[in-house]
Structure 1
Amino acid sequence: MDKKIHISDKDDDTDNLGNEESNDSKNHTTENLEDEEFSEDISDEDKASIREVAGDDNLSAPKSYASILVEQVIDAKTTFNRSLGSLFTSAFTAGLEIGFSLFVILAAFALLSEVLPSNYAMVLASLLYPLGFIIVVIGQSLLFTEQTSLLSLPVLNGIEPLRKLLRLWGIVIAGNIVGGCLFAALMIGLGINMHLFTVANIDAYAQHVLDFEWWVIFGSAVLAGWMMGVAAWLVTSARDTLSRIVLVSLITGSIGFLGLHHSIVGNIEVFSALMYGNTVSLMSYLWFLIIVLVGNTIGGVVFVAVLKNRTFLFDIAKVKEQAEEDEKDKIARMDARQR
């Protein structure tokens, strides 16, 4: 068996589906995998193996491991089939939406700083970190770190070429960054003029993420990417919107509380200080962005997609091995009866 998930490349018109319809289809993706869901070069035996490990028709029970992974592969293929304009617009929207986290955090930080030491104020304000992520995930906009592991799955399984993944990542990153920078330019300036926070607050928060050696930022970004990959996995495992909100809040709230480096939120944090503050240069902003993007990517792909994908392939191999043993036993029993 070619140890890959073979899902067909049939056209998907998902760009025109509403959010509710998309969520409903996600919840039932793997209940009945039809023949057209598989590529033409996969054998009937391998189709049966995948159906067995990915079967998930009991809505009262947790989703199976394989069901989650197959669902993610199918969803990622849908993303690959979207138009470039649709991808960029969705990513641009996510860049804008994720900015709400920083806007509220800065306002809370400015307020808490008046009554608490700066370190405590920053940690407590960071608990508001999940706000933008909830808007992005529930609204189904394309956020790079959430999609990193998800979009790499078709490539890991030989369904899509690497060059197509790199192009897709480039579009999503560009949309996220442009949207985030626009939010910083407009909304952070608005917050200053509304006296919700000050330039000093913006500088303090930027230094909160910049004031480390490059290798520390890189390691922190790897961990943040790992956690975002886990968040994407857990969101797929959930069967209802409330559960997804809770899971996103727990994971991203932990990232904010620990001060880990997230490339898209970090872009807005540092770019805001570049525009309105006094402590960030263009070179430090660009260097920071490159390090965190690479770290997030490694964390999401290596520690989530690769490992979970390998686990699934081991499950497929085990099912096939068991099926072969059962077939041998059946033949042996038939031979014994004939004698």
Structure 2
Amino acid sequence: MGRTVLVTGAARQLSGRFVRHLTRDPAVDRVIGVDSRAPEETPPDGAEFVRADIRQPDIAAVLAERAVDTVVHLDVHATPPGGSGAGRASVKEVNVLGTLQLLGACQRVPTLRRVVIKSSTQIYGTAARDPAVLSETDLPKSPPGGGFPQDVAEIEGYARGFARRRPDVHVTVLRLAPVLGPAVDSRLAAYFGLPVLPVVLGFDPRLQFVHEEDVLEVLARAVRAPGPGAVGPGTFNVAGDGVLFLSQAARRLGRPTVPVAGPLAPWLGSALGALGVPGVSAEQLKSLVHGRVVRTAALREAMGGPLAYSTPETFASFVAARGRGLLGPELIARAADRIEEVLRRG
């Protein structure tokens, strides 16, 4: 029997790619992409785009009228859509209120059998007292103080509540490590694209990534009916094997670093972000203090093996696509001067 799958955030790069990925799945009859803004590319054959805001009650009609049996909620992000000009409050509204409204609508759809929700390993925080490797059952040593980590904590809380109210629906939560790859457009990708990388003095965090192609594969397995290699209900960390230190990543990119004293890092991140420097924010620099590494045994067991790309291989793929090597000394000097100027003003 064919499936009808609805994907939220379809105007975003990763969600749009997943919509195209699903149209090639013979077990899926119909794919519906939903977003509050139109995608830049025309939906492929076998996919329908519906312009709808998941924060509004209208989403319930979209689900019911099309007899959706699977919802893949990917409209969860740390940053606004490119060029939208939306602020942090608007992003939080989409993440938190949007998820609450969507799950409320899902609760009333009798045909629904599966919900897949994109989360993030940022839910664990970055406390110094955290375990060296975090598993799905570990709780952060200190509660999220706001920002995107707080968003995903609230989103997962709503997912657990929905699972209790609809025990007949399989709920899968995927905690993604930072996604990288040739086509990824993210705050972290922008950070690694800077001519000079601001780093926190005295810290060399361990980093873990997941390749965009692996994300598409894990999502596809979560959509599948139960069986060998399928990712069933539950919460899963999604990350490539291995780790990279930030210093190793900088060397592989050929980027110099500028150390910033810890107490100044949040202020610098906010100041540079306000000046429009891509990839830099207080939240971003905070995440580059202790780093975060997660255990992926549960996902490996479900899939019957590891992801195709390890963390070092994911980063190598990103470097190969974005270019490597030291940039011109003039560009590096200008970037370093800008950071120093912001610090002097402080």
Higher helix share: 1
Larger relative contact order (C-alpha < 8 A, sep ≥ 6)? 1
Which has the larger strand fraction? 2
Give the TM-score band, short-chain normalised: under 0.3
**Structure of larger gyration radius:** 1
